[in-house]
Amino acid sequence: MYDTLQPELLTASETEKALMERHPTYVVSWDIFKDNQLPYLELRRPFILGLHEEDIWRPTIYHAFSKLLFDKQKLLRSYTQNIDGLDYKLSVPPQSIISCHGSLATIACEGCGAPMETNTFTNLIKTQIKDIYKTDPSAPASSTPIKCPSCSKPLVKPSTVLYGRNLPAEFHENAQSDASAANLLIVAGTSLTVYPAASLPEMAGGILSETTRLVVDRDKAAGYRASIDIKNNPKDIMLEGDCDSVFLDLIEEAGWLEDLTQYKDSLCESSKRLLDGRLLYLEAKGKN
């Protein structure tokens, strides 16, 4: 996003555009948002509509694995650094998920905290925010701020954490006790370089800990880069591969493939194809 940011397309003053040019993260900072909500909303427009309205962004096998853990009462908590809201799409209840950097899944006012219904918000996005990506012909030609119905300030947005704002309190309220209570901590799809999420394996691991830490990553280096010393800790496990394949293997090993198929229609296309391929393979193998 930062590489492709085109400040000249956004509704902003010349000074704001110059700042975005120099520091692309400025577009998602409290500094600009408190004065001008539009660049953030224009940038996020297709992601907000794609998630809530058009159902373009769909969960993967990893998300389904997380839901299966919940269904089988084995999920203590899911911590995510992703803001895409996909962790919520298979109806894992919000109290079982901690979105460390906030999420596009819920909408609230940055000023007074009042929540807004996603339907109300997406309608306002459609009719009041222009489409800088030129994919929606029905979008308005220029943007109008979205005002909060409670405090009437133009500060309504998806609940992602802006630079310069505090991370959600739930992380610190739950991390230590969850890390101590977990039998297994699964670390997936992260280089473990961004805090506070990167501190979870440290909290859960260690010589005296009973917790097994499982790292799933495309390259082994991620596990070593992290504070997890997989090489020396016999309780820790590294599974190399992409998340979808590794979690499909785990689901199969656990005997949960049939449970997974009930979520197949909600999955993204590549996850669906992977699952179909696995089912066909097993069927053929069974016949032989």
Catalytic residue IDs: 101
The piece of 56-64, 141-149, 161-169, 262-270 that touches Zn ion (CB under 5 A) is 141-149
Is 148 a binding residue for Zn ion by CB under 5 A? The answer is yes
Residue of 9, 75, 76, 151 that binds Zn ion (CB under 5 A): 151
Nearer to Zn ion, 109 or 239 (CB): 109
Please check if 268 is assigned to a binding site: no
Cis before 196? omega within 30: yes
The piece of 10-18, 88-96, 104-112, 134-142 that touches Zn ion (CB under 5 A) is 104-112
Is 145 a binding residue for Zn ion by CB under 5 A? The answer is no
Strands (E) in 32-144, as ranges, are 78-80, 97-99, 102-109, 115-116
Please check if 100 is assigned to a binding site: no
In the complex, least distance from residue 124 CB atom to Zn ion, rounded to whole angstroms: 14
CB 153 within 8 A of CB 111: yes
Nearer to Zn ion, 128 or 150 (CB): 150
Residue of 24, 50, 111, 241 that binds Zn ion (CB under 5 A): 111
HSE-CB of 257 using CA atoms within 13 angstroms:
17
Is 150 a binding residue for Zn ion by CB under 5 A? The answer is yes
Is 144 a binding residue for Zn ion by CB under 5 A? The answer is no
Residue of 5, 49, 109, 248 that binds Zn ion (CB under 5 A): 109
> What residues from 193 to 212 belong to the interface with Zn ion (CB under 5 A)?
none
Name which of 88, 94, 74, 98 is nearest 174 in CA terms.
Answer: 98
Residue of 1, 18, 112, 221 that binds Zn ion (CB under 5 A): 112
In the complex, least distance from residue 46 CB atom to Zn ion, rounded to whole angstroms: 25
Is 149 a binding residue for Zn ion by CB under 5 A? The answer is no
Please check if 148 is assigned to a binding site: yes
CB 207 within 8 A of CB 222: no
User: Which residues, at least 6 apart from 76, have a Cβ–Cβ distance to it below 8 Å?
Assistant: 178, 181, 182
Alpha carbon distance 153, 224 (integer Å) = 47
The piece of 5-13, 21-29, 109-117, 172-180 that touches Zn ion (CB under 5 A) is 109-117
Q: CA–CA distance from 82 to each of 78, 99, 179, 187 (Å)?
A: 11, 7, 20, 13
Tell me the pairing of strands 102-109 and 115-116: antiparallel
Please check if 109 is assigned to a binding site: yes
> Which residue in the block uniquely carries the two structure tokens 């000074």?
15
Amino acid code (one letter) for 4: T
Is 120 a binding residue for Zn ion by CB under 5 A? The answer is no
Alpha carbon distance 100, 110 (integer Å) = 17
Binding site for Zn ion (CB under 5 A): 109, 111-112, 114, 148, 150-151
Binding residue numbers: 109, 112, 148, 151
Can you say which residues are annotated as belonging to the binding site for Zn(2+)? 109, 112, 148, 151
